[in-house]
Amino acid sequence: MDKEELKETLGELEKHKGRATELITVYIPSGQNIYTVVDQLEAEKSTAKNIKSTSTRKNVGNALDKITRYLRDYKKTPENGLAIFCGNVSKIEGQEDLRIWIIEPPTPLKTRMYRCDKEFILDPLREMIEDKDIYGLVVMDRKEATIGILEGKKIEILQKMTSGIPSKIRAGGQSSQRFHRITEGLTKEFYKRIAEDIKKIFLNMPKLKGIIIGGPIPTKDEFLEGDYLINPLKEKIIGKIDIGDASESGLKELVEKSKDLLASHEIIEEKKTIEKFFYELGKNPEKTTLGEEKTRKALEAGAVETLYISSKIPKTKSLEFKKLAENIGSEIKIISLETEEGEQFYNMGGIGSILRFRI
């Protein structure tokens, strides 16, 4: 399944509730021996015979039978693993509607699980459909710096460094001016090291949306105003935040204080995206399409460079257009209704494209 199909399937699975712990979830991670899982499920059948409730015992046993029958058709675990959901989902007590969903996920599954519950366990698959934009994080003062990334909701530390600058207490015999010159020189060297590590980590990171820098007012401002960062990285700076901690916990504080900044940045980026489409529509109408019919023809001709779809377009239609775009390697942009331009685009049909060539 691709992410859009998975999202739709998860929406269906969420609706099903069991009367007891009789809905079965099985996750088989990529690389796991599928025969080992089949043996485990066969053993679970024996355990299920001890369930006191007659209906629950029957439903769990039938579901396990159904899962193992399907799994025996596999020679090995698929490349990305398998997620299996099975159970009696009938809304009428006493009736049986035993259904099974077998999903090959869009990215490798790392979770191994067998669970009987009143609902299907879906969190490992939900994580796969979350949009995980990546932001660079830097917290710094004159003593230390920590560099990391924010991916989705997860903070990952990539580099820690210290300056080695001595404290304000001077060594015997040093004048205050000489001590100041030494510390200023060491500070500049530390800033250069920070900039070099930022370059190594972020310069060629394809999914990087922006960089946020935090620290005390003089330190981060000196760093940003000095000639330390190269231009492509300077352009990636989307904000600077006043914080006093340059350690790991400083990264968490930076993210907490940047929530409004990140939200507004997403809207600004989307605004730029749809403005580009409107600009091309006005300037080069022969290299664009607007509306369902013309865009479908362009996709079928392999002419679409970038497909634009409103988030309010019905899922089945949206999925159809995305598949056509994926088949010809087109970029896909989903446009929300959070901006005036996004609403305008939806009111104009909600589907459009910029073309590779005229048709």
Question: Tokens at residue 61, please?
Answer: 């046993």
Longest dimension (CA), the chain: 92
- Over residues 154-170, mean pLDDT: 81
Examine the domain organization and report whether 12 and 116 are in the same domain: yes
Examine the domain organization and report whether 162 and 193 are in the same domain: yes
Instruction: Print the SS3 string covering 105-124.
Output: CCCCCCCCEEEEECCCCCHH
**Is the pLDDT at 173 greater than 60, yes or no?**
no
Give the residue from 81, 111, 129 where a domain finishes: 129
Looking at per-residue confidence, does 172 or 348 come out higher?
Answer: 348
Q: CATH code at 238?
A: 3.30.420.60
Give the residue from 104, 129, 154 where a domain finishes: 129
Examine the domain organization and report whether 48 and 78 are in the same domain: yes
pLDDT for the residue numbered 169: 53
92 — pLDDT class (breaks 50, 70, 90): confident
Comparing 3-7, 67-71, 73-77, 155-159, the range with the smallest average pLDDT is 3-7
Q: Pairing mode, if any, of strands 304-310 and 134-140?
A: unpaired
pLDDT for the residue numbered 115: 94
Q: CATH code at 326?
A: 3.30.1330.30
Examine the domain organization and report whether 117 and 146 are in the same domain: no
Q: In 118-229, which residue ranges form alpha helices assigned H by DSSP?
A: 123-129, 176-202, 217-225
Q: Count of alpha carbons within 13 Å of 292, Cβ hemisphere only?
A: 9
172 — pLDDT class (breaks 50, 70, 90): low
- Over residues 279-303, mean pLDDT: 95
Which residue do the tokens 């399907």 mark? 70
Contact predicate 63/47, CB 8 Å: no
Neighbours of 174 (CB within 10 A): 12
Examine the domain organization and report whether 275 and 201 are in the same domain: no
CA-CA distance, 113 to 340, in Å (whole number)? 45
**Is the pLDDT at 27 greater than 90, yes or no?**
yes
**Is the pLDDT at 131 greater than 70, yes or no?**
no
Examine the domain organization and report whether 80 and 104 are in the same domain: yes
Examine the domain organization and report whether 139 and 246 are in the same domain: yes
**Is the pLDDT at 308 greater than 90, yes or no?**
yes
Examine the domain organization and report whether 141 and 184 are in the same domain: yes
Q: Which of 80-94, 175-189, 254-268 has the highest mean pLDDT?
A: 80-94
Examine the domain organization and report whether 16 and 104 are in the same domain: yes
Q: pLDDT (tens digit, 9 = 90+) per residue, 311-334?
A: 899 988 998 999 899 899 999 999
CA-CA distance, 289 to 349, in Å (whole number)? 11
Neighbours of 173 (CB within 10 A): 6
Examine the domain organization and report whether 124 and 223 are in the same domain: no
This model's pTM is above 0.75? no
Examine the domain organization and report whether 102 and 161 are in the same domain: no
CA-CA distance, 324 to 115, in Å (whole number)? 37
Q: For the chain, how many structural domains are there in total?
A: 3
CA-CA distance, 180 to 174, in Å (whole number)? 10
Closest C-alpha to 336, from 273, 261, 259: 273
Q: pLDDT (tens digit, 9 = 90+) per residue, 4-23?
A: 788 889 999 999 998 889 99
pLDDT for the residue numbered 168: 61
Q: Which of 84-98, 254-268, 278-292 has the highest mean pLDDT?
A: 278-292
Question: Tokens at residue 338, please?
Answer: 């959070």
Residue-averaged pLDDT of the chain: 90
206 — pLDDT class (breaks 50, 70, 90): confident
Class of residue 172 by CB neighbours under 10 A (exposed 0-12, middle 13-18, buried 19+):
exposed
- Over residues 87-114, mean pLDDT: 91
Examine the domain organization and report whether 251 and 309 are in the same domain: no
The residue range of the domain holding 274 is 264-355
174 — pLDDT class (breaks 50, 70, 90): low
Radius of gyration over every alpha carbon of the chain, rounded to an integer in angstroms: 28
Q: CATH code at 123?
A: 3.30.960.10
pLDDT for the residue numbered 4: 74
CA-CA distance, 195 to 223, in Å (whole number)? 9
Give the residue from 100, 129, 158 where a domain finishes: 129
Q: Pairing mode, if any, of strands 144-151 and 134-140?
A: antiparallel
Q: pLDDT (tens digit, 9 = 90+) per residue, 243-267?
A: 988 999 999 999 999 988 887 887 8
Which residue do the tokens 């230390």 mark? 144
